[in-house]
Chains A and B, each alone.
Chain A
Amino acid sequence: MKLSLQFLLLFTLLPYGAMTNAQPFPELPARFNGWSLTDKLILDTHQSLYDYIDGGAELYISYGFKNAISCRYTKEGQPEVTAEIFDLGTASDAYGVYSQTRDKEEKDYGQGSYYVSGAQFFWKGRFWVSLMTGETTEESESFLKTLAAFIDERITETGEPPAILSVLPAEELVPGGTLYFHHYIWLNSYYFIASDNILEIDNDTPAILAKYGVPEERIYLLAIQYPDSTKAGQAFASFEQQFFPGGLDDNTIKTEENTWISAGLYYTTIIVVFNGKEKTKARELLRKARDLVYLNQDQRSKIKE
């Protein structure tokens, strides 16, 4: 019994990478370009993440947080730089945090990166990398980029972005305007839909929100993939009850805002188009996404055959 407990303790303390034969965290340098690593934190529980981020931990928890390291770098006369590497367990979730963070997509580091004043972010494989400085100086900004390149080089594994992205029609898709999630709280990120989880989104239902068209004629597409047709049917019925209890006409309904919603359930995927200024636009986007669901399903069927 004692041995089992020891094993269990060891198991829970091991980094996720060590438990799965996956790549562990890259080792960050103690000194680099005149900057010194002065603090290193290992965050391996939800509570330690709560303590560290002071209320902002849920973003990472909603994307499958496994563990993280946080390193503080200092240099005399410069603002400090914090380097964080989060292991989210899957490349999809690392992409998900990226999709939450970036306003535009850049390819400077990893599989997708984003620079905003004082912060350099990127995702690669199952890792999300966040480098920040409280104040942007020429030197701290330069260090962010040098460190980003260092970490990028040492993360050798890559991964596939979420498969559900494949149901998004490419035409008129806003660059950087997609959000991948599997926690219902992100449902309203682009456009208010509902205060509660009426589409029964959970960890088993990859979902994507996407922006289409110019800002004045913005359309939002929501796609959610369910593990089976029963769950998909239940979720669609719940959505129907709230949004169109009288049913749809040719998959569309006009709202009180004089905009059009177009919705359908295709195999196990619910697709909804919101805010169409014209009925035809909303319906057309729905049909294009539907065709991609069918195409994916056909390809899966052929692979099985």
Chain B
Amino acid sequence: MKKTIITRRSLLKKAAALAAGSAILMNFPARIFGSASGKKSRVILIRDENVIDADGKINAGIMQDMLDKAMLQLTGRSSVGDAWKDIVRPSDIVGIKTNVWRHLPTPPELENAIKKRVMEAGVKEDKISIRDRGLLSDPVFKQSTALINVRPMRTHAWSGVGSLIKNYIMFVNNPSSYHDDSCADLATLFELPVVKGKSRLHILVMLTPLFHGVGPHHFNKEFTWPYKGIIVGFDPVAVDSVGLQIIQARRKEYFGEDKPLNPPAKHILLADTRHHLGTADPNLIELVKMGWKEGVML
């Protein structure tokens, strides 16, 4: 693949007729996206004020309800059962790829909500695996025919944010080999034989996203906030792009001025412009906002 050098000036020249937008994606002055099809990616953002209580405990029933409503909206089906039949078949072997980062893991309540619906769609329990690490030695993941990708978004010291695109890095034995150029080419993970063509659904957890970190593994609750949402879609780039906009908006709100991610989350933009995995272009994302509106930031 011929590598295109993107500079501030080359971007500006090409982007003269385009609206602003990707500053939020890559500290860019304007936007240049790769998708030429004009087809929009549908993304569902659903929030519920009561999904987390004052002690930070997740209400499993509300979590299930949020997922169900999002799936109905995403698929356009009239029943939850039909919506999930669009995602998995009874014969599928389903890997649910989560994230176990100890400060902000994929919540078990959401894992269970997904598993319940996958089983109701006819997939046997022993054909479902939920995990983050050791995927290449997990018999279900090794034989999987369908993948569901679910993780919280958080700032990340090298890739800008921990994203759905980045979540597949555990499908390789040497994750650090994807770290060049601040993880620019993470989208190539989706070309791995163990992954290619299997992703059925992407869910970005935005219940308490981490919007700022100092150093590689700094975590403090002060830099999370109760956004109380999940973002659901078929296009991981579009879902990540929406999540990233929310993170950037929160940074601006918290710090009182634009505070770009350092390094920028360029892997999301390049998943579109270089690898054509999906669209990061806000104009090509059909964003459906559901539920709690206060502080939605979009």
Which of A100, A119, A186, A191 contacts B220 (CB under 8 A)?
A119
> Are A55 and B156 within 8 A (Cβ)?
yes
Complex Cα–Cα for A116 and B214 (A) = 8
Q: Are B9 and A55 in touch, CB under 8 angstroms?
A: no
Indicate if A13 sits at the interface (CB-CB under 8 A).
no
Enumerate chain A residues within 8 angstroms of B216, measured Cβ to Cβ: 53, 55-57, 59-60
The answer to whether A53 and B217 have CB atoms under 8 Å apart is: yes
Contact of A255 among B12, B176, B217 (CB under 8 A): B12
Chain B residues near A121: list those with CB within 8 A.
214-215
A130 to B214, CA, bound (A): 10
Smallest CB-CB separation from A185: which chain B residue? B182
List chain A residues, Cβ under 8 A from B103.
134
Instruction: Indicate if A173 sits at the interface (CB-CB under 8 A).
Output: no
Assembly CA distance A118 to B214 (angstroms): 10
| B172-185 interface bits toward A, Cβ cutoff 8 Å, 1 = contact, 0 = none | 00011001011010
Interface hit among A30-38, A194-202, A277-285: A194-202
The winner among A47, A57, A185 for most chain B CB atoms within 10 A is: A185
Bound complex: CA of A47 vs CA of B179, how far in Å?
13
| Residues from chain A with Cβ under 8 Å of B26 in the complex | 192
Q: With A59-B158, A189-B263, A193-B7 as known contacts, state yes or no: A119 contacts B214, CB within 8 Å.
A: yes
Is A294 part of the contact surface with B, judged by Cβ < 8 Å? no
Q: Contact between B6 and A194 (Cβ–Cβ < 8 Å)?
A: yes
Interface set, chain A 111-156, CB cutoff 8 A to B: 114, 116-119, 121, 130, 132, 134-136
Total residues of chain A contacting the partner, CB 8 A: 43
Count of B interface residues, CB-CB < 8 Å: 44
A59 and B157 form a contact (CB under 8 A): yes
B158's partner among A55, A136, A194, A198 (CB-CB below 8 A) is A55
In-complex Cβ contact of B9 among A130, A215, A256 (8 A):
A256
User: A27 contacts the other chain (Cβ, under 8 Å)?
Assistant: no
Residue A54, interface by CB 8 Å: yes
A58-B184 Cα distance, complex, nearest whole Å: 14
Residues on the A chain within 8 Å of B217, using CB: 53-54, 56, 132
Q: Which of B183-221 contact A (CB under 8 A)?
A: 184, 214-221
A188 located at the interface, meaning its Cβ lies under 8 Å from any Cβ of chain B in the complex = yes
Q: How far is the CA of A60 from the CA of B217 in the complex (A)?
A: 12
Cross-chain pairs A/B with CB under 8 angstroms, 22 sampled: A53-B216, A55-B175, A56-B216, A57-B216, A58-B158, A58-B179, A59-B157, A100-B262, A101-B215, A116-B214, A118-B221, A134-B220, A192-B8, A192-B27, A195-B184, A196-B3, A196-B181, A198-B5, A242-B7, A242-B10, A243-B9, A274-B8
8 closest Cβ pairs, A-B complex: A56-B216, A118-B220, A256-B12, A195-B6, A56-B157, A192-B27, A194-B7, A117-B222
**Additional A-B contact list (9), CB under 8 Å, known A118-B220, A119-B218:** A50-B175, A50-B176, A54-B217, A56-B156, A59-B157, A118-B218, A191-B8, A255-B12, A256-B13
